[in-house]
């Protein structure tokens, strides 16, 4: 969300993914995807800067949280050595327990 200021001085948070156009007439008008128009104090350039900062923050968060965690097992590991107490013990069907012959 990016903050914008209404003409009366109140702050409004808008979803930048829903912005359709930003017009810098004497007053700045933001047109949202649903057709709603917002009159704001900021200039179009300032809105564009905030939009770019928002996009950068989203990309950084995806890069930071999209990778492996320290608690993940190593890339090359033996699953039988990594016991997760929250996961039931899984067996391969037909591993000599007699279930595969039924």
* Residue pLDDT, tens place only, 43-58: 999 999 999 999 888 7
Domains of the chain are: 2-65 (2.40.50)
Q: State pLDDT tens for residues 63-100.
A: 666 566 666 666 666 666 656 555 555 556 665 555 54
Reduced to 3 states (helix: H, G, I; strand: E, B; else coil), residue 49 is: helix
User: CA 12, CA 42: separation in Å to the nearest integer?
Assistant: 12
- Which residues contact residue 44 at a Cβ distance below 8 angstroms, ignoring those fewer than 6 apart? 22, 23, 24, 28
Note the pTM of the prediction, 2 decimals.
0.59
């Amino acid at each position: 969300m990016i903050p914008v200021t209404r003409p009366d001085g109140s702050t409004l948070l808008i979803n930048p993914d829903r912005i359709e156009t930003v017009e810098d007439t004497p007053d700045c008008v933001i047109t949202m995807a649903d057709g709603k128009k917002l009159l704001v104090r900021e200039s179009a350039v300032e809105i564009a800067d905030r939009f770019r900062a928002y996009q950068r923050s989203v990309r950084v968060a995806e890069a930071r949280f999209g990778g492996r965690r320290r608690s993940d097992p190593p890339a090359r590991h033996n699953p039988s050595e990594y016991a997760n107490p929250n996961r039931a013990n899984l067996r391969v069907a037909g591993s000599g327990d007699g279930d595969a012959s039924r």
